[in-house]
Every structure is written in C-alpha cells, then in structure tokens.
Structure 1
Amino acid sequence: MNADHRVIALIDMDCFYVQVEQRLQPEFLGKPCGVAQYYTWKGGGLIAVNYEARNFGVKRGMRGEQAKELCPDFHVFHVQEVNGKANLTRYRDASADVFRVLNANFKLVEKASIDEGGKAGERVMELFQVEYIGQLRKYSLDALQTSMGEKDGYWLFNLTRGIETTAVNSRNLYKTISASKNFPGKTCLDTIDKIRIWCHNLAEEIFNRLEKDRAEVRNYFIKV
C-alpha cells in the first residue's frame, strides 16, 4: 500500500497489568487499583496504576503504602513470585491472547513498547521545552534540523504533520529472551551455593518459556 494512503491504528493497552488482574477478579472493575512487584518494603513498588487511582495522585513507582495514604480504598494486586523472582507469565499470556486476536483479523501487526520516548525523546523535550509531539509543529524545518541534525530534524518535521513512511513489520517472534534479577544490599549473592541456586532458577525460567513457545535457541549469554 502506498504510504500516502495507508492508515495505521495504534492500540494502546492502557495500565495493562491492572486490566489483567481485574479480568481475573472483576469485583475490582471501576475501583482504584494498582499492581506491585514484590511484597517487600512498604507494600512493594507499583509498576501499574489505573486511572481511578491516578485521580487521587497515585503514580507508578510509588510504594503500596504511600498509595494507600493518598487513596484509602486503593487495592494492590501483587505480581506472583516463583523461586523468589517476579513471575510475569500471567501478563505474557494475556498479551499473547491480544495478539492472537489481532493477527487473526489483520495482515500486518507490529508489537512495540511506547511507554517511554528514550534518550532521543528526552533530548527533544529538553531542547524544545515540549511534552507532546504536536507542540513541535510551530518549529520550522530549519530550526529542527539545526538542533537535531538534518536526518532527525526532517523526520520530526514530517512526524508532527502526520507523515511517516516507515514500513509496518509483523513481529510475532522475539529475537531475544532473558531472565534477570538484581541483588542489592543484604540480598547480595555472597556464596557459591547462592550463585548456583540463582543460576539454576534463571536458567529454568528461560527453559520453561522456550518450551512453552516451542522456540529454539542458537546462542546464549550470561550477563553479570
């Protein structure tokens, strides 16, 4: 299809982790909720918050207890843990359900994470003091290219006008898969036995995910 006549629909799975939990426990639909990872210090760290909770000032990154101070009716779902590590299987499975529906109805479906603009986005926001892409429309092509370079400036100029010719590529298979965990402070791995246990746990997680997806691995790496 000619890029000038195509239509690209963006489906944003808003506060997705919360939606997954509410689907399993519908009695919490319409109520302020969030998902926290780990049960440790002050109720765990919030990794997803729905709009009902955001209306009270609750934000991602807060602790569960802090959120309850702002919103006494706030309900916290906790990510399941397996072998002392967050188990995201529930959310991966729900995501797979969504893409099965999309792939059954559309020829081209590209999966992308758009929560953050990355370093390039941060640079644009800082240079031009903007929050939304549409706010760049007031800048001329010359101004954008002077600050961002000829190629990026031209791309931003077109983007603010709804012009984007990058092809949509179906990405149903992932190129990499990983499992990791941080061990700060007192949780550090200070013995060989602890290291062996966690190497086994992380390898087992990778194995289970590969087996479930019937995927084969060509190369593997260990990052310390």
Structure 2
Amino acid sequence: MRPIRKQSSPVPGDFDEYSDAKPELISRLGMYCSYCERPVSTNLAVEHIEPKKGPQGQPHLTNRWENFLLACVNCNSTKGDKKVDLQNLLLPDRDNTSAAFVYRKDGNIDIHNALNQQQARFAANTLKLVGLDKPRSVVLDANDEEVALDRASQRMQAYLLAERAKENLTACNREPMREKIVDTAVKTGYFSIWMAVFDEEIDMKLRFIEAFSGTKKSECFNQANANLVLPAPNPDALSNGSKV
C-alpha cells in the first residue's frame, strides 16, 4: 500500500459536492486505487475513509477533504459502509504503509514481521477492510488460458512484469532503459511491487518514489537511499497517524 500525501485542502471549508475533489485528488495522487494500487483509468471513485451512509455513517464528513482517498470498484464495494476506526487501521495518507506489508510473487500480501503485535493487528484490519486478504482465484477461458480477474492475480502479473523489467536492466544497464522501466511502472501501477522487485536498486527505487504522484511528498522514504522513514512523518498532521 503506497504511502501518499494529499496535502491541505484546495478549498476553504468543505466541498459543495465530494465529487468535486476528484480532479485534485488525481492530480496529487495519480490515477491509482489508494488501497490496492491498481491503475484505474475510468470509474475511479472518491473514497470516503469513514463512510458517509449506513449505521456507521459520518454524514458530516461527506464533503471533507481529510476524509477522501481514491478507490477502485473492488476496494470501494468491499469496504462499503463498514465501521472505520482510524485508531485500529493503517492508512496510506497518514501511516508508512510501505513498512507494514510485503508483496509476494504469488500475488499475496503478507504483514511485515518487523511490526509489533499491535501494528500487525492494525495491518490485518486494513487488509480485511478492503478485501486485500482474499486469496487468488484461478479463472480459465475457453482455451484454458488463465485470466487475471481478481486483485491477487493482477498483482501476480504485475510482479512478473517487474521481474522482466529487472532482467532487462541487467542486460542493458543504461539511462534510456531506466527511464523506460519507470514509465512502465507508472503505467502498470502497483508501486509496492516495483519497490519489492527492485529492492537492491537504490537508484530505481528513488525514481519510483519520484514518479508516483504524492509518494515523495509523504516523506516516508529517505531521499538519499530510499530507506523507510519510521514512523510516518504525517506532514499534514492527520488524526491517528504515524502508527507505523
């Protein structure tokens, strides 16, 4: 889950309509789901961190900038109107979520073993909230070719693409190749997967941090060596931040 910074609201007070915040959110965070990191060119929704409707709804936060992220259909529908307790979750706009999750080649997301017991519980709550703990489903078409319909399968595909890009860099370690890989990463999405595959490539990691909108500004990465900054600086001072 990519750490991001929304920065301060572009309007004084609340928005007239929460949908009005979408262009500014995309400009600052890129066209990616804030939870699963997949790129979404259409139907990317303004996501209410705390639900606006239902028994747990917080209608007074419906048009509040601090309550917005971006979400794909899957994460948004899975989260739905579930109760959200900010004290018991790790969120990408206020915690260093890159330190909480480990992205695997098989498409699964594990909880980092460096977390303490409480932090690990927060991480597990977050995965469950948006369904990122769901296992991969194997779906075949009429020709017995696998189709990546679920999020775990799509992460696996992204991981394989990143590995091929790393092999290409080994074969041709030149500036144009590095630039091409960054362009591919931005187009493909899944920042955390690219960071995992290129873990030993400091230069590439710094390029990814720079290229994915809102990540460098989160201040969750050291700008000299791409190491994690812990706990998250939470420069916008959002409530219940810096738990990791």
- TM-score clears 0.5: no
Relative CO higher for 1 or 2, CA cutoff 8 Å, sep ≥ 6?
2
**Larger Rg: 1 or 2?**
1
TM-score by length of 2: 0.21
TM-score by length of 1: 0.22
More helix per residue: 1 or 2?
A: 1
